[in-house]
Structure 1
């Protein structure tokens, strides 16, 4: 009799009650994968986003570092993650590029849910202070006179800092000796230690430029950076190449649109958080907001654009 009363009471509960509704999202911590090493600009930025999103969502957002393979390990992890919104990753530009260069375990258009576009990287070319050149033009002249002797560090084969220099070198007619690292923090230490002459990476090396330990030769975007307004872009210097690299947040394919909306709204709020904006400004990363729909359309466009770029550079995978 008591059991029947309890069942009847349960059936009488309103549809919106906790007993009758599915689990509220989010109800537990969320993992946000940063596919770059700890200690670098990407790590700092993703942690700022995670802390701010946690406040908006009401649950912890835990950053997990999975560096390697040109920043694509987060996308690879999505193949095994449940599409419940509790595992997310940063989506750097490389995930749309590397599938055109080599066999990858994921398809960026079929295996991911694009949640929101957030920001983008500003890249630059910095040289050792005692390098035998003091400007971009002098560097090109030296590299032409010493074929293959210009050593530079980048964030991994096929990443934006790597291909930016290779395309520039092709246009300018010089050869390089590239040295891959896992992230900009490692490259910065290498160039400060004299192990490479030049580095291509995010502007987290800016403090060393200001301190007079490195020389900034050029930035790679379409416009000069406000941190170094007197430093020209590569395009301004006479070579028609521009490198910009937006990124955002994504999850596994098949996510519930209602969950995607909650995550989108929370991360959109982070773009108004003074602490997040301060961190972005520190590393010269602009706000590049894209809604869920816009970000999905962007993914389709950039995947095709990267295919054409890789084909033009002769780096397309065989077969």
Structure 2
């Protein structure tokens, strides 16, 4: 029988310990795809592209942003959940419509808790209502009064049926006792274009309208944050206008279900560093996007709790995508 010397045994043991490490490639060892479910040029697109660039530097591999729009901002996340491998190389923005939309379907196509690995909470949006500058409606009170006199005549745009801004407007109509006509688009930019062209009366969406308010082409009637936006100190909040509402629709980053905890940790740390980087803070400031950071554990908890809230809202407002 061959005898194994003490020195040989030590060498064999060291080699055995080293083998698994050599067999496991460093993550990431190739580019990562980040699916953005909104058109290019939107506030979330700008924030996520900045985040991707900064995170790529920390990870040593590029994070490539890919716009995949459709289905009220849920096509991209649904594609990642159903088609991507859970290896950390396919990520997506996780926003509230992804948590809400399944419960608006007769047969839900995904489960927002079980079908994703939730990684980090990031930020939210500055929502508001804006009209064309030459509109005869000078204020929120003018809009409400006109809508009461003319049920269904005023039109408003959002970035899709079942989005946070659409639900907020449904709630506002209930509270104010008015009836407006909803005109959904694929993103806030399209709604702004429609208002400027006189095709829609109001845009009720994230802050794609902000530069046009600053340039004098549009007028903001309300912002939906808890406090007045620093860029628009003269524009009242919904609470100031008598509506006990605050709508910022916080979002984060998620991947397919079943991701390795170590990979999630690497991604969280790189994305957190990018989120708190001065450059990403500058981009968020450009669009008045509030910081809503959640670590992985807290973000998972937020998603679970928010899904229950969204289910209740869908039932209360009797929202359905099935006609």
Report the TM-score range of the alignment, normalised by the length of the smaller protein: over 0.9
| Contact 1:132–1:142 (CA under 8 A) maintained in structure 2 | no
Please, which runs of 5 or more residues in structure 2 have no aligned partner?
1-10
TM-score by length of 1: 0.93
Q: Which residue is 1:83 aligned to?
A: 86
Provide the C-alpha distance between the structure 2 equivalents of 1:213 and 1:156, rounded to a whole number of angstroms: 24
1:281 and 2:292 are equivalent in the alignment: no
SS of equivalent to 1:79: helix
Q: Which residue is 1:314 aligned to?
A: 318
TM-score by length of 2: 0.92
Change (3 A) 1:19 1:312: closer
Tell which deviates more after alignment, 10-19 or 265-274: 10-19
Provide the C-alpha distance between the structure 1 equivalents of 2:99 and 2:21, rounded to a whole number of angstroms: 43
Provide the C-alpha distance between the structure 1 equivalents of 2:69 and 2:108, rounded to a whole number of angstroms: 16
SS of equivalent to 1:20: helix
1:22 and 2:24 are equivalent in the alignment: yes
| Contact 1:32–1:63 (CA under 8 A) maintained in structure 2 | yes
Q: 1:205, CA displacement in angstroms? A: 1.3
Q: Deviations over 1:229-268 (max 9, x none)?
A: 2211112111223222000000000000000000000000
How many residues align? The count is 310
Q: 1:178, CA displacement in angstroms? A: 1.1
| Contact 1:33–1:64 (CA under 8 A) maintained in structure 2 | yes
Q: 1:114, CA displacement in angstroms? A: 0.4
Provide the C-alpha distance between the structure 2 equivalents of 1:192 and 1:169, rounded to a whole number of angstroms: 23
| Contact 1:118–1:288 (CA under 8 A) maintained in structure 2 | yes
1:256 and 2:252 are equivalent in the alignment: no
SS of equivalent to 2:22: coil
Provide the C-alpha distance between the structure 2 equivalents of 1:54 and 1:161, rounded to a whole number of angstroms: 31
Change (3 A) 1:317 1:43: closer
Alignment equivalent of 1:245, drawn from 243, 249, 252: 249
RMSD of aligned C-alpha atoms?
A: 1.8
Q: 1:13, CA displacement in angstroms? A: 4.2
Alignment equivalent of 1:292, drawn from 290, 293, 296: 296
Q: Deviations over 1:190-221 (max 9, x none)?
A: 11111111001111211110111001000112
Q: Which residue is 2:96 aligned to?
A: 93
- The aligned runs of 1:1-319 (5 Å cut-off) are 13=15, 15-16=17-18, 20-77=22-79, 78-102=81-105, 103-315=107-319
Please, which runs of 5 or more residues in structure 1 have no aligned partner?
1-8
Q: 1:70, CA displacement in angstroms? A: 1.4
- Which structure: greater helix fraction? 2
Provide the C-alpha distance between the structure 2 equivalents of 1:223 and 1:198, rounded to a whole number of angstroms: 22
| Contact 1:224–1:231 (CA under 8 A) maintained in structure 2 | yes
Q: Where in structure 1 do 4 or more consecutive aligned residues deviate above 6 Å?
A: 9-12
Q: 1:105, CA displacement in angstroms? A: 1.7
